[in-house]
């Protein structure tokens, strides 16, 4: 028996298949999916945040690199990470899906299983969206709304001379994980493959870092070198980073050695970790000691938007070398 496709099911049949288990924080929703618009609210004293991110088959994922449940999960977390980078909490999510007509209905249902899993994990309401046809591959666009206490959102432009530069977690694991998948080394490095397929941003940690006084913040979506340059340019300062202080996981070190790659290659140029890179006044350094996932890697000085990487006794300019669309 032929596998049922989205064409066989039709637009509204697909919608009926996937629209369940959408609301995780009912106190923020006045009207959920089903009408022309959803109606939601945020508590008094909060600013609203909004961001959008797209995943395109053949660019962000393939059948080789990610299953449909992983794609749905990652669509959510890549968006939720943008809210975390502002020191906020995600609260609502809508999805626009462009689907080829021969896509198996089971793929769509599994993708939404991943979406529901991520929304439950982060307490986010799925408020609706749109389904349309695609003449090519799968195109998924998510738009997230979030909240942050009024006038406290952490921008990229707030870094000041004398601030410390910090990162969370182990940047580079996701980029290494993608290479692990391509090289079919998952049995040796399963955690790295999982880090690529299921990155997990930490909005609660970002919220606390904002409360501690983080002056600038960005999520690591395009590689640490790219995000550091974004902060330095936006803040009109120079940043100096000590390569020996960049936290690289044992798995990424072992994999890098296996393929004869520089240890800092994946942390600096790999993307989609959705860890945080931020600056914070030195006066707050002692309060960072309670967060084991936070690592101090450098400092901010007066300047005009240059990032320098110190390695042993040498210093060189660190250019943005992560993934950028439309560049060869």
Task: Tell whether residue 60 is among the known ligand binding residues.
Answer: yes
Question: Is 201 among the domain residues?
Answer: yes
Q: Is the C-alpha dihedral spanning 159, 162, 166, 172 positive or negative?
A: positive
Query: 260 among the known binding-site residues?
Result: no
Whether 44 has a binding-site annotation, put simply, is: no
Task: Flag whether 219 is marked binding.
Answer: yes
Q: What was the pLDDT predicted at 322?
A: 64
**How many domains does the chain contain in total?**
2
Q: Which residues pair with 178 in a beta bridge?
A: none
151 annotated to bind ligand = no
Domain membership flag for residue 326: no
User: Is 197 annotated among the ligand-binding residues?
Assistant: no
Q: Is 21 left (phi over 0), alpha (psi -120 to 50) or beta?
A: left
- Report the pLDDT value the prediction gives residue 68, as an integer from 0 to 100: 97
**Co-location of 104 and 85 in the same domain:** yes
Q: Is 130 annotated as a binding residue?
A: yes
How confident is the model at residue 326, as a pLDDT? 43
Residues 57 and 170 in one domain: no
Q: Is 112 annotated as a binding residue?
A: yes
Q: What is the pLDDT of residue 89?
A: 97
Please, what are the averages of pLDDT over each run of 10 residues along the chain (328 residues)? Answer: 78 78 90 88 95 95 95 97 98 96 95 97 94 93 98 98 98 97 97 97 97 98 96 98 98 98 96 96 93 97 97 92 58
Query: Do the annotations mark residue 156 as ligand-binding?
Result: yes
Q: Is residue 323 part of a domain?
A: no
Residue 295 covered by a domain: yes
pLDDT for the residue 194:
97
User: What are 64's two structure tokens?
Assistant: 């080789």
> What is the rounded CA–CA span in Å between residue 271 and residue 314?
26
- SS3 of 169, please? coil
In sequence order, the 6+-apart residues with CB closer than 8 A to the CB of 173 are: 191, 192, 195, 196, 249, 251, 252, 266, 270, 273
pTM listed for this prediction: 0.93
Tokens 């995780």: give the residue.
Answer: 24
């Amino acid at each position: 028996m032929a596998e049922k496709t989205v064409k066989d099911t039709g637009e509204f049949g697909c919608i009926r298949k996937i629209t369940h288990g959408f609301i995780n924080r009912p106190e923020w929703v006045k009207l959920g999916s089903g009408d022309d618009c959803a109606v939601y609210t945020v508590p008094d004293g909060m600013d609203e945040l909004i961001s959008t991110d797209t995943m395109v088959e053949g660019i962000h994922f393939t059948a080789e690199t990610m299953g449909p449940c992983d794609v749905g999960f990652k669509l959510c977390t890549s968006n939720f990470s943008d809210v975390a980078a502002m020191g906020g909490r995600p609260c609502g999510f809508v999805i626009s899906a462009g689907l080829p007509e021969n896509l198996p209905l089971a793929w769509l249902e599994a993708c939404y299983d991943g979406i529901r899993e991520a929304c439950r994990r982060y307490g986010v309401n799925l408020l609706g969206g749109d389904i349309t046809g695609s003449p090519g591959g799968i195109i998924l666009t998510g738009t997230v709304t979030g909240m942050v206490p009024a006038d406290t959102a952490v921008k990229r432009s707030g870094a000041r001379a004398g601030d410390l530069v910090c990162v969370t977690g182990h940047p580079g694991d996701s980029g290494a994980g993608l290479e692990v998948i391509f090289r079919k080394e998952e049995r040796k490095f399963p955690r790295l493959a999982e880090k690529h397929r299921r990155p997990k941003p930490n909005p609660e940690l970002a919220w606390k870092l904002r409360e501690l006084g983080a002056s600038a913040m960005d999520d690591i979506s395009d590689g640490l070198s790219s995000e550091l340059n974004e902060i330095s340019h936006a803040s009109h300062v120079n940043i100096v980073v000590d390569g020996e202080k960049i936290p690289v996981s044992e798995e990424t070190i072992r994999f890098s050695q296996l393929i004869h790659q520089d240890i800092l290659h994946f942390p600096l140029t790999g993307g989609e970790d959705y860890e945080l890179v931020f600056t914070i006044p030195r006066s707050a350094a002692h309060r960072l000691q309670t967060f084991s996932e936070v690592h101090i890697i450098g400092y901010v000085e007066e300047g005009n938007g240059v990032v320098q990487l110190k390695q042993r006794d040498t210093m060189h300019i660190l250019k943005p070398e992560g993934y950028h669309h439309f560049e060869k």
